[in-house]
Amino acid sequence: MKLSKRKEGISLKCLVIKAQKGDAQAFIELIEQNKQSMYKVARSYFQNEEDIADALQDTIEACYRSIPHLANPEYFRTWLIRITINKCNDIIRKNRREHLVEEFPEQGEICMELKNCEFEELMRSLDEKYRTILLLYYGEGFKISEIAQLLDMEENTVKTRLTRGRKKFREIWSAQSAAT
């Protein structure tokens, strides 16, 4: 297990170094390896697929321009997620300024995995400050110290929000279970 983690870390570092030197294929590979993580983070901020796509596109563009300046290649994933979070926040600020007229939700496809849809709905009902931390901790496997670094907050704040987020999640889930 340690050996595969080690190989993965070495290959990630090599890809980052190649991308920093202008290797477009290495950059594409880095994005491919991390696209699901980026999507999950953006999904925790937005329900609208267009906003998610905008956030991902902005993230990739910013990452491509800034990768030569990344000091520690081993922190690429953390750096990429931080950029994703910042781009999501930029879109939220932009949308607030525009004061868009409330749109009716589009009729989407019927959810084939009802449990997954219910889980996403449950996560959306949580306050953003809890939802993001729960997603980063459970969904992406970041440690509390890494989440604190990503979100520019104290570790104790992350621990508190993680605890409160779990409690709120449990309360909402229990209430929904009792209602059905």
Question: How far apart, in whole angstroms, are the C-alpha atoms of residue 146 and residue 134?
Answer: 13
Instruction: Kindly report the average pLDDT of the chain as a whole number.
Output: 82
pTM of structure: 0.63
Q: pLDDT per residue over 38-54, tens digit each?
A: 999 999 888 889 999 99
Lowest average pLDDT, out of 54-63, 99-108, 114-123, goes to 99-108
Q: pLDDT per residue over 114-147, tens digit each?
A: 455 666 777 777 888 888 888 888 888 889 998 8
pLDDT at 118: 66
Classify the C-alpha dihedral 24-69-94-105 as positive or negative: positive
Average pLDDT of the segment spanning 48-62: 94
Average pLDDT of the segment spanning 8-35: 88
pLDDT at 95: 80
